[in-house]
Amino acid sequence: MTDKPSSQPSGRSGRRSSRKPAAGKSEPAGNRAAAASRSKKPPQTDLSERQLGDFLLKRLLGRGGMAEVYLAEQLSLGRQVAVKVLRTSQLSDADDVMVRRFQQEAAAAAALNHPGIVQVLSVGCVDGLHFIAQEYVDGINLREFLSRKGPPSVPLALRMIRQIALAVQAAGEAGIVHRDIKPENIMVTRRGEVKVADFGLARLTHSEELVRLTQEGVTMGTPLYMSPEQVNGKPCDLRSDIYSLGVTSYHLLAGHPPFRGETAVSIAVQHLNSTPPPLAETRNDLPPAVCSLVHRMMAREPEERYQTAADLLVDLRKLLRADRDDPDSLSKVQLDNETPTTEFQWKQHLRPVLLFCLVTALFSAGIGWLLRPGDPLRTTPPSSTYKVFQHETAAEQYVEALVLQNEAGWRAVIDNFKTRADERYRMRALEQLGILLLRDNRLEEASRRFHELELAGTNSQEMRLRGIAGQALVLNRQGRYQDSQTKIDQYERQAQGRNRGDEQAGELREMLNAARESNRGYLSGSSPAG
């Protein structure tokens, strides 16, 4: 039986810290009350032996950019579970978008009850610690499996792919797209079962409110396994997961991904304009139908892939049935609507056009990309293994930074491209560095960057507005609610009459609205709702 998601389970209270105003300054009563409320957020330390509701944390299993994972005991049932705790350093009361996304995506994943999906058991918050409890899988992930054992036999690989496809089908029928299918998110148990984990990038395709929270146009996922539409920041549906499953299947059968490179951007661009090496050339014992199935999953155009997981499963069952009845006949199986790899080849002369499209699409993500909450379920920062490569143009350097999403990436654009022709890329990078610093709670540095952006944007009303908006968010997070509200009012005055579509700031307005409500609540002496 699955526990129902709970928003406020009971548990032992945690440590509390007090928050004092700066010397020489006084705060209104409302600010002091708000500060007392915010002080419930404990500093993030090793939480082993801490109890969160029904869950006693035993030991730390892993730590990432947004979450820490603990082996825990569910006391009421006496069973082992895994508990993912959202890092409190990433949160502020004004940034309720991240918390809402964390809770709603966990609740969505909890609704998925399938043997091929790691089961989410509960979501809750105790003393400012937001957490997800999920099934503990005793095993290793698929990347570790391949590292230890190498590529499996064709029949075993087909059975593993089928189990993953069944999980993708179950999620798709619930309106959920995983968006990050890759070997690290596929668990292999000691009994040989395969389970898909980490629906933290899940997008509920049937709920407008939740789609707004996950922010259409945001590129998320891992470059090695991302679909072309995901690289381009376009809306993704189940066919994107099928593409990522195809890349994962290629890795499973070949022992390595189809595209490799020194930098994240080089990998992302290959998904747009390079043809993967034929599987048959990588491993000559593979039946043609198996190669055809994998390459069809990796078709660059969504319309040329399997349209549903059910369609994919039909061909997988045909291959498995042939292997069961007569293994020698597997090499003779013909699949319906086979699509030769050559149909997907793109001309190399399209590379500049595709790069332009990639930059344009990523620009179109606008402030939605910049203010997107990090993935609360991710336990491995996606870009940690990629170094910053020095590109020849600001456009290429900017795309690299967008994929890497780290400080070094943004600084490479800001520091190395200072001509007037590169100004728009430099300002965008300056803006995104400010957002990164804000999300890391490096507030003074973020404030300086946003102020610099406001001054640098003398020739761009849009960038000047974003500099003002960023300062308003920093001030709110610093507890300077009156100053924050003054900046918000300045933003609204200067934004009047602008085309909202051109402004590309729907998510920014949502963040500013949250900050405005927070400011008013604290200044009036009452904590804001939610």
Give the residue numbers marked as catalytic.
180
Question: Which of 247, 251, 222, 244 has the alpha carbon at shortest distance from 146?
Answer: 251
Q: Which residues of 226-241 are buried (b: 16+ CB within 10 A; e: fewer)?
A: bbbbbbbbbebbbbbb
The string of DSSP letters for 48-76 reads: TT-EETTEEEEEEEEE-SSEEEEEEEETT
Q: Sign of dihedral through CA atoms 280, 284, 289, 291?
A: negative
Distance CA 222, CA 184 (A): 10
Query: Is there a contact between 365 and 234 (Cβ–Cβ < 8 Å)?
Result: no
Question: HSE on the CB side for 328, CA within 13 Å?
Answer: 0
Distance CA 409, CA 402 (A): 8
Distance CA 166, CA 160 (A): 10
Question: In 10 A of CB 419, how many CB atoms?
Answer: 8
Provide the CA 161 distance to its chain's centre, in angstroms.
23
Query: Is there a contact between 369 and 219 (Cβ–Cβ < 8 Å)?
Result: yes
Provide the CA 517 distance to its chain's centre, in angstroms.
27
Distance CA 193, CA 260 (A): 28
- CA distances (Å), origin 272, targets 76, 255, 294, 388: 50, 22, 17, 20
Distance CA 471, CA 446 (A): 8
- CA distances (Å), origin 404, targets 325, 399, 497, 503: 48, 9, 35, 25
Total residues found in the chain within this entry = 530
For the record, the structure tokens of 380 come out as 């491995």
Q: Sign of dihedral through CA atoms 464, 470, 475, 478?
A: negative
For the record, the structure tokens of 325 come out as 């009845």
Cβ burial of 458 (10 Å; 0-12, 13-18, 19+) is exposed
